[in-house]
Amino acid sequence: MIIGVPKEICPGEQRVALTPANVSALLKKQGVEIIIERGAGDIAGYPDSAFEAAGAKLVDRDEVFSSAQVVLQVQTPGSNTQNGNEDLDKLKQGQIVIGMTDPLANPQFAQTLADKKVTGLALELVPRITRAQAMDVLSSMAMIAGYKCVLLAANESQRMFPMNMTAAGTMNASRVFVMGAGVAGLQACATAKRLGAVVEAYDVRPAAREQILSVGAKPVELDLDTGEAEGSGGYAKAQGEDFLKRQRELMTEVIKEMDVVITTAAVPGAKSPILVTEDMVKAMKPGSIIVDLAAERGGNCDLTESGKTVVKHGVTIVGPENVPSSVSFHASQMFGKNMENLLNLLLDDNGDLQLDFEDEIVVETVISHDGDVPQARLRDLLGLPALAKPEPEAEETADADSDANKEEEK
Reference 274, options 297, 258, 253; nearest CA is 297
Strands 198-202 and 175-179: parallel
Provide the pLDDT for residue 410. 45
Neighbouring residues of 307: CB distance < 8 A, sequence distance ≥ 6: 295, 319, 320, 321
Residue 232 has phi, psi (to 5 degrees) of -70, 150
**Separation between Cα atoms, residue 21 and residue 332, nearest integer Å:** 11
Domains of the chain by range and CATH? Answer: 2-135+327-382 (3.40.50.720), 143-321 (3.40.50.720)
The structure's pTM equals 0.88
Coil, helix or strand at residue 320 = coil
**Separation between Cα atoms, residue 390 and residue 231, nearest integer Å:** 28
Quick count: other Cβ atoms within 10 Å of Cβ 175?
19
**Separation between Cα atoms, residue 186 and residue 88, nearest integer Å:** 36
Query: What residue type is 168 in one-letter code?
Result: A
The secondary structure of residue 410, as a DSSP letter, is -
Q: Is 351 left (phi over 0), alpha (psi -120 to 50) or beta?
A: left
Provide the pLDDT for residue 391. 60
Question: Would you say 306 and 319 are in contact if contact means Cβ atoms under 8 Å apart?
Answer: yes
**Separation between Cα atoms, residue 318 and residue 294, nearest integer Å:** 10
**Separation between Cα atoms, residue 175 and residue 46, nearest integer Å:** 38
Provide the pLDDT for residue 236. 53
Catalytic residue numbers read: 128, 133, 136, 139, 235
Return the exposure string of 29-40: e unless at least 16 CB atoms fall within 10 Å of the residue's CB, then b.
Answer: beebbbbbbeeb
Give the angle 319-325-331 at the CA atoms, nearest 5°.
130
Reference 204, options 177, 182, 233, 175; nearest CA is 182
Question: Would you say 198 and 92 are in contact if contact means Cβ atoms under 8 Å apart?
Answer: no
**Separation between Cα atoms, residue 13 and residue 80, nearest integer Å:** 10
Q: Which helix (H) or strand (E) holds 351?
A: none
Q: Is 55 left (phi over 0), alpha (psi -120 to 50) or beta?
A: left
Residues, the chain:
410
Strands 309-312 and 366-368: unpaired
Strands 366-368 and 315-318: unpaired
Question: Would you say 122 and 103 are in contact if contact means Cβ atoms under 8 Å apart?
Answer: yes
Residue 75 has phi, psi (to 5 degrees) of -120, 110
Question: Would you say 272 and 297 are in contact if contact means Cβ atoms under 8 Å apart?
Answer: yes
Question: Would you say 188 and 172 are in contact if contact means Cβ atoms under 8 Å apart?
Answer: no
Question: Would you say 211 and 186 are in contact if contact means Cβ atoms under 8 Å apart?
Answer: yes
Bridge partners, residue 5, by sequence: 36
- Give the burial class of 10: count Cβ atoms within 10 A of its Cβ; 0-12 exposed, 13-18 middle, 19 or more buried: buried
| Residue stretches of the chain with pLDDT short of 50 | 229, 231-232, 234, 397-398, 400, 404, 406-408, 410
Provide the pLDDT for residue 393. 55
